[in-house]
Chains A and B, each alone.
Chain A
Amino acid sequence: MTPGRDDARRSAERWRDRQTLERRLHDGPAQRLSALTLRLGVLRADAPGRNGDEAWHRGLDVFQSELESALQELREVAGALYPPLLDEAGLGPALRELVTATGAVARVDVADVRCGTAAEGAAYFAVAGCLAAADATPGRPEIGIRVRVENDDLVLTLSGVDPDQRRPVLDEAAPLGGCAELTGPAEITARFPCA
């Protein structure tokens, strides 16, 4: 069951690939589309004779709003690949942002240390999965999210969660050579080896 060293290395490599794809979206299509919104603004300002032309302005409005939608969709795809904040600022800021953005009822206690692209990515998506599952639960108890680093492992402790979440958390940890155990009636502790 436990993956070998090579499997873990390949899994870590896949996390770095995901991060690279996120950067390509940011530097490529996202930049092109946001630059187009500026060119559209110039076009609007440069058309003095068109001032009374309702259809022309409506057309430009549609154009602008479609560009904004495309950028929003790109942000969502990028976030599902590898959240940029995770790369830039680490697990604590990224998890706090996730809690803010999803409206999850959760307490974030994350040590301010960096653990590498793969461990941080896997731990982030393990937490995201638990928050999404808890969101559908009536009553929504507060979830505790605690992260520490011990012996070169990123140790994630989730409290107030459904024990059934151990499996999806393990699915994130295991490919990197980590594990996930029930450490209480509603507590999961997972270890993600730092690269």
Chain B
Amino acid sequence: MRVAVAEDGALFRQGLVLLLEAAGHEVVACEAGGDPLVAQLSTIPADVALLDIRMPPEPDGGLVTAERLRAAHPDMGLLFLSHYAESHYLMRILEIGTDRIGYRLKEKVGSVEVLSDTLTRIADGEIVIEPELAKRLVERPRSEKRDLVASLSERERDVLKLMAEGRSNNGIASTLFVSAKAVEKHVANIFDKLGLHADTSAHHRRVQAVLTYLRSQRGDA
């Protein structure tokens, strides 16, 4: 895969290039900030751009850079790597795009298998969210009023958590050891209970289900 990197920490940037190359990927651009990467990628094609969130242009250059890259190259995957996994950034990231996009902790992509799996899923169009963040958001008990999940069964909650990690129905089925048909039924029930009806595409509703849930958990109106 052709990948581009923007990261202001020299040590992490060098480590990332070494690991990407060990995993058999081609690093087509490698910069210390967002602006030079955008300039490079105006002429060099790349499949996925790996972006630090906290880098120049300050304070959260990764997000600004991602917006510009998404506008100029809609098919390019975007993977945010950060020292922090925060729901605030997850919401901002999902505002930039809900496909070909990912958000992972820097120390969780330190093997060729995990790094390649993350990049492949993004290039295939999925959302990849740090599992710990998805879990934290889905499992916290809340007050009755906001606890949309209170209306979900335990199994539906498991399915929603895996949806929040960006898993496909088949992926969820194999994780939970149930049939894909059973997962489809759970997903339909989740859409129904969260009030997401069939006027939009399945992918869009899937993202909406996750976003509705995340918003409810954050105490937003």
Q: Residues on A close to B: CB < 8 A? A: 26-27, 30-42, 44-46, 64, 67-68, 71, 75, 84-85, 87-89, 93-94, 96-97, 99-101, 103, 105-108, 142
Contacts and interface: CB of A to CB of B under 8 A. Distances in A.
Contact of B143 (A67, A89, A93, A105): A105
Given A45-B22, A88-B59, A103-B140, A71 B87 contact: no
A35 B140 contact: no
B70 interface: no
Closest 10 CB pairs of A and B: A38-B15, A37-B110, A35-B11, A34-B106, A35-B15, A41-B110, A103-B140, A31-B9, A45-B22, A93-B88
A100 B15 contact: no
Interface of B: 9, 11-12, 14-16, 18-19, 22-23, 54, 59-60, 83-84, 86-88, 106-112, 115, 136-137, 140-143, 217-220
Given A35-B14, A99-B218, A84 B54 contact: yes
Contacts of B217: 100
A26 B107 contact: no
B86 A97 contact: yes
Contact of A96 (B115, B140, B220): B220
A26 B19 contact: no
B219 A108 contact: yes
Given A27-B9, A97-B88, A100-B137, A42 B54 contact: no
Contacts of A93: 88
Nearest to A30: B83
